[in-house]
Amino acid sequence: MIRILHLTTHLNIGGITSYIKLLTKEMRKLSYQLYVGSSGGTQEKMLEEEGIRCLKFNIRTKSELSPKLYLAIPQLIQLVKQEKIDLIHAHTRVTQVLAWWVQRFSKIPFVSTCHGFYKRRLGRRILPAWGNHVIAISKPVEESLLKDFHVRRTAVSTIFNAIDIIDLIKRYREKNPEAVRQELNLPKSSRVIGIVARVVEDKGHEYFLRAAAKLVLDSFPNVKILIVGEGPYLKNTKELVRRLRLEKSVCFLGNINDITYALSVIDIFVLPAIWREGFGLSIIEAMAVSKPVIVTNIWALNELVHDRENGLLVEPKDVDDLANAIRELLSDQDLYSKVSRNGSEMVRQEFSITQMANRVDRLYRQILSQPGNADKSRLTKDLRESNIQT
């Protein structure tokens, strides 16, 4: 059995945690033994219930120079040797550096997943710490790695993020939209426009609310706005709601463990991000359950959404453009049905968790088969048996 250690800063709700949860759940089916090292978090219990061994290290920091990082190195080296870890998979800049140091002493390979775009800082030039191979979650992220950081083309691959479509749809169908509406005080006649994203300036909540205000004050007074997520911009967002006099139209839901709770009552999903996005997992989840989506025409959202085919594209920070797009979907049932249907079909074809796990599996085995990485008799035997089974 091949042993993989995933490293991330924390296991609270977020894109990286969701990625690890989905990937480890699927890869257990491929006879891997999986560990997750982090500073802990709200999702740790869920991982352990899936049979993933979670290990706590005091690495909750954003700084690659933090003493926490270097105090954790001996603990990790001991763990790697004790558990006979075969490969480390790092998911944040801090854990990439941590994996690099562990590799220096243990000689085991590591890969990293880039879940978004990095800034070109001095620390990255001095210590790249990309690992034996880098997984980019979208083509624009891969292009940035090649162009901005000069990662070798042979050392980077795009493996799209994915979702557990079967599980997502199952959970979605279990929800009672009428009951959820009652819990959230949403009238039966209201049309709900929702956003699921961390509440930070880059996600474009301001432009979403300004567009919504135009609709509510214009010809759609029954429109309700659902904002799911938390973040440092939450206070500013609530103040903007007050200034726009939208208090009766906006519902703040905070963080939720199950996105299908919100999706069960959302009629149109919006993500008006103003800066490039690494992927857009929540968009894929909305499309999977046939919700029409409106997103901004930026990297990598325009990789997922093709205008008027499987969703609508609007220009960043363009309040009128966004308001008109929402208005059109509220008014044109044919367009609404078309983009909903096409979006769902696209997700089923291209973003299943099985496809993602199989691609990561092939990458792991490729790296572990390279000279110097598969020199242990147990690992060599496991790789041979894995190749025979596949």
Sheet containing 191-196: which strands, arranged edge to edge? Answer: 250-254, 223-228, 191-196, 268-271, 293-296, 312-314
Q: Please state, rounded to an integer, the average pLDDT across all residues of the chain.
A: 93
In the prediction, which pLDDT does 376 show? 52
In the prediction, which pLDDT does 377 show? 45
Residue range(s) in the chain whose domain bears CATH number 3.40.50.2000 = 2-162+352-389, 165-350
CA 373 to chain centre: 30
Mean of the pLDDT values across residues 108-131?
93
Which residues face 56 on adjacent strands? Answer: 38
Bond prior to 179 in cis (omega within 30° of 0): no
Q: Which residues contact 121 (CB under 8 A, 6 or more apart)?
A: none
In the prediction, which pLDDT does 378 show? 56
Place of tokens 């440092």: 232
The CATH classification number of 2-162+352-389 equals: 3.40.50.2000
Would you say the C-alpha torsion 225, 229, 235, 236 has a positive or negative sign?
negative
Per-residue pLDDT of 49-103, as tens digits, reads 999 999 999 999 989 989 999 999 999 999 999 999 999 999 999 999 999 999 9
Confidence band for 387, pLDDT divided at 50, 70 and 90: low
pTM attached to this predicted model = 0.79
Would you say residue 43 has pLDDT above 50?
yes
Mean of the pLDDT values across residues 317-329?
97
**How long, in residues, is the chain?**
390
In the prediction, which pLDDT does 390 show? 45
Mean of the pLDDT values across residues 315-341?
97
Q: Is 155 exposed, middle or buried (0-12, 13-18, 19+ CB in 10 A)?
A: middle
Among the residue ranges 116-125, 210-219, 255-264, 375-384, the one predicted with the least confidence is 375-384
Give Cα separations from 13 to 51, 60, 254 (angstroms).
19, 14, 11
In the prediction, which pLDDT does 379 show? 59
Please state which architecture CATH assigns to domain 165-350. Answer: 3-Layer(aba) Sandwich (3.40)
* Cβ(158)–Cβ(144) below 8 Å: no
Per-residue pLDDT of 22-32, as tens digits, reads 999 999 999 89
Per-residue pLDDT of 140-188, as tens digits, reads 899 999 999 999 999 999 999 898 999 999 999 999 999 999 999 999 9
Q: What is the 3-state secondary structure (H, E, C) of 11-49?
A: CCCCHHHHHHHHHHHHHHHHCEEEEEEECCCCCHHHHHH
Would you say residue 46 has pLDDT above 50?
yes
Per-residue pLDDT of 346-375, as tens digits, reads 999 989 999 999 999 999 999 999 987 755
In whole angstroms, how large is the CA radius of gyration of the chain? 22
Per-residue pLDDT of 185-239, as tens digits, reads 999 999 999 999 999 999 999 999 999 999 988 889 999 999 999 999 999 999 9
